[in-house]
Each structure stands twice: as structure tokens, then as C-alpha cells.
Amino acid sequence: MLYSQSRPEWDAIFKSIDAEVQQHSTAYGNLQEATEDIGHRLTGSAQGAKAETYAYELLKSYGLDVRYAPFEAESWSRGTLSVVINNKKYESVSLAHSPVKANISGSIADMGNGLEEDYLDNPGAAKGKIVLASLGILPGSQSGLRNLHRSEKTALAIRYGAKAIILFNAAPNGILLTGTASVTGKLISIPAICIGNEDGMRLKKQLKTAPATASIAMTNFSGKIKARNIIAGIPGKIKPAEKIVIGGHLDSWDLATGAIDNGIGSFSVIDIARTFKALNLQPQRTVEFVLFMGEEQGLLGSKAYMKKSLHDGTVANIKYMLNLDMSNNPKGYSATTDEDKALFQAIGSIANRIDTSFSNTFRSGFGLHSDHQPFMLQGIPAGSVSGSLSREVLNCYHADCDVFSLVNEQELKNTIRFSAMLLYGLADAPELQAKRLNDDELKAALLQSNLKVALKISGEWRWKD
């Protein structure tokens, strides 16, 4: 059954992809150069613009047709921050889209995991207070709780009347996490900050026996910025109007150089494009390689891409969107739907014969908070690779320790070669079973994936019930 989904020539093509990446990949060296010479890649900053140019010139040097897709958006960058709790200064970072200026004091209310259940269990407890909540799910919490994104936890704090929110990191050793606290990508009305895990747990313990008061003073910048997605393409030889998009966000936060988030994803996309060009691969469908900016500040680049696609009607041409965001050392594939499971596993079975470390797993389901989301919310099938990162690496998510030394060269090559095989297979398959969902079908899929609450909090649930 698996082989009926593939073409006989794929074995040889996938072997050539494997050899090309293993022997000639430039991703590791390029990422090292970018992290060392550019530093962080914050959208709207000088370094962000430099990263855009760097990626454009790389793709151009590989012989691809490449263009900038400029967009404007409201962006945010951090300024100053002081957090004092019971006369003790705390190490902390502002969460993105916090107010441009704030200077507030108030008593602290422990809201546990910061989920809606915590507010409903303690009616009125957050009103006029500074909320303390965990970024993760606390040890000892009831089983089956679904965690929320930091922006959704902040939105709940605002809804229940809090004057600020202090989120503490799940990672140990005082690591401070940044990231957006806004579900809309616009300024929020209250300060949102992150403190370390140990400080947060100590504060929780203290609040059980005595009250605590916090003072938070911050300044930040918010305003219109200009940024550019970078897009390269290879036209399909038989079905050029049908398009498979593969993308990853090039931007990073400013605390570190974003080697993992999302250097390993975006530089994989660049090297997949290089591989296709080096091997002169031209599948049936058009392949489009996209490096998005502004993902960290609210999916700004992918939303701009989708807005233009809806405006010019080209959204109908997109048959799949593959997203590489912190994708590493894949062992299988994933998709929003299982309609093309046989195809994905047919592709994976060839990959497995080439390298048995690729175990060819498959999973399906919907998720949020990366550049596939604007595509997914238009009913477009999305997919990715399923891999892993060590706990040591994951602890540096959105933190100042996300640096190049975390990158494993062979695991990066694995991402590139197995992603390239998936991309080619989808672009060259005789038929794709997954179709774009209509609104009713999309609603049902989102409900099945338990995403209604998160999308209602963010204002992206467009259905009336």
C-alpha cells in the first residue's frame, strides 16, 4: 500500500538528496557565521535587516530566483526594567508587548498555573492585584491540564482585572525567558514580566504564610517597523499552479543569537533550497521556500504572507505548508490531517531504507503559535518533521543561553535531508488526498484538537458558538 503512493524514481532522488546534504551542506557554517557576525535577529532592528540581506544573498548565490516580500507592522523592543518584591530586587525580563511605560505597585496574588480554572476557583482574587503564575504546569497539579501560551495567560490576567502579571520560568538555574505576552501582536494594558524558576517557587512558598508587595517599573519601545520575508521558488514542471510552501522564521529574540529558535529551522530551509538547486530537482508542483520575519512578535511575517495570498487569490494554489520551527533530528513526520498518512509514510519508508535512524513515525493534529498557524486557520493542510531536542537545549528557549554551541551539526543535516525528502515527495506525488478545509470542516478540526479556548482568548475564533 505504501509504495502505491510513491514514484519508482524517488529512491534514486532521495539517495541523491541524502548524499548532497551529507557531503555538501553549508547550513552549519552559515548559521555559525550568522550568529557570530549578526548576533540576534530581532525584527525591525538593524541586525534583523542584516539577517534578511544575508539570507537573500545566500539563496541568490545558490542560483535561486529570490525576492523580498516587505511588510510593515507594529513592533516592540525592550527598554529598562526594575522589579522589586518586598524590598528585594529580582532578576527579570520584560515580556514583549508590555506597555511603553509603566510604574505600578501592588500586592501579589498567587494564581497557580495561570489557567482559567485558577481564576474561577478564586473569584475576585486577581482584581487589582499583581498576579503570580507559572509558565508551565506546576508539579502536583491535577492530571490532564492543558497548558496555555504565556500570551493567553496574560490575556486571562487582564480579563480578571490584574494590574500586572509575573510569570516564572519552568527551566531551572535562574534562566529568564522572554517572548510575547500579547495574543494580538499589539501592546497589552498591563506589565508582564518573567522571573526565574527558583525565585518564583520561593515567592509561592512565602505567599502561603505572609503577603508580598511588588513594584514594577519599565520602559519599552513600540512603533511601526519595516521588515522583509525572503521568498525563493522552483516552478513545478507539470502542475506549476499548485504550490508546496516550506518555511521557517528567520527572526529571533534579542537576548541571544537564536541558534536553536529558529536558526536550525530557517537555515535548514535555506539549505534545502540549495540542495534542490544543486541537484536540479524540479518536482511536479511548484516549491516555495519562505523565511519569515516577525514570528516572535506575533507571526507578523506569515500573517502578512497570508494577507497578500488572500488578496491576490493565490491562497487557492497552496496545497501544503511545511513549517520548520526548532525542528531537529527528525525520526518521523507530522501533519494536521491523516488523509495523506500513506503518502507521508511512503516517503518515510524510503528515508528509512537510506538511514534506519529515521524510524518513520507519523502523527496528526492541530497546534498553534508558529508560522503554520495563518495557513492552518485558512484550512490549508500543514505538516512538519517530528524530532527532538535535549532538555539542556530546551531550557534555553527564548533565553540568553540560546547560542551556537547548542547546535549539533549532524542533527542539523538530518533535519535538512529528511525534510527535503518530505518536500520533494509532497511536491511530486501523483495526487494529494488532503484538501483545503471549508469553514465548517475547519471548525470541527479545531474543536477536536481542543483549540477553541486558546483561539477565543486570542480573538481568532471566528465562529459564533
For 167-194, what is the mean pLDDT? 96
> Which segment of 3-7, 36-40, 371-375, 414-418 scores lowest on mean pLDDT?
3-7
Spatial distance between the Cα atoms of 37 and 30, rounded to a whole number of angstroms: 10
Cα 259 from chain centroid? 14
Superfamily of domain 3-75+224-434: Zn peptidases (3.40.630.10)
State the chain's mean pLDDT as an integer: 97
For 307-317, what is the mean pLDDT? 98
pLDDT value, residue 184: 87
Spatial distance between the Cα atoms of 238 and 399, rounded to a whole number of angstroms: 45
What φ, ψ does residue 266 adopt, rounded to 5°? -70, -40
Instruction: Give residue-wise pLDDT tens across range 107-152.
Output: 999 999 999 999 999 999 999 999 999 999 999 999 999 999 999 9
- What is the H or E stretch that residue 258 is in? none
Instruction: Give residue-wise pLDDT tens across range 332-387.
Output: 999 999 999 999 999 999 999 999 999 999 999 999 999 999 999 999 999 999 99
Q: Quick one: what percent of the chain has pLDDT higher than 70?
A: 99
pLDDT of residue 163 exceeding 90, the answer is yes
pLDDT value, residue 4: 61
From the CB of residue 217, how many other CB atoms can be counted at a distance below 10 Å? Answer: 15
pLDDT of residue 2 exceeding 90, the answer is no
pLDDT of residue 465 exceeding 90, the answer is no
pLDDT value, residue 284: 98
For 188-195, what is the mean pLDDT? 98
Total length of the chain: 465
pLDDT value, residue 3: 45
pLDDT of residue 444 exceeding 90, the answer is yes
pLDDT value, residue 309: 98
From residue 213, alpha-carbon distances to 85, 130, 182, 237, 259 in Å are 6, 8, 25, 66, 37
CB burial string 410-448: b at 16+ within 10 A, e below: ebbbbbbbbbbbbbbbbbbbeebebeebeeeebbebbee
pLDDT of residue 1 exceeding 50, the answer is no
Do domains 3-75+224-434 and 87-211 share one topology? The answer is no
Q: Where are the domains of the chain?
A: 3-75+224-434, 87-211
Q: 3-class SS at 86?
A: coil
CATH topology of domain 87-211: Glucose Oxidase; domain 1 (3.50.30)
Instruction: Give residue-wise pLDDT tens across range 225-254.
Output: 999 999 999 999 999 999 999 999 999 999
Spatial distance between the Cα atoms of 444 and 439, rounded to a whole number of angstroms: 9
Kindly indicate the confidence band of residue 295, based on its pLDDT and cuts at 50, 70 and 90: very high
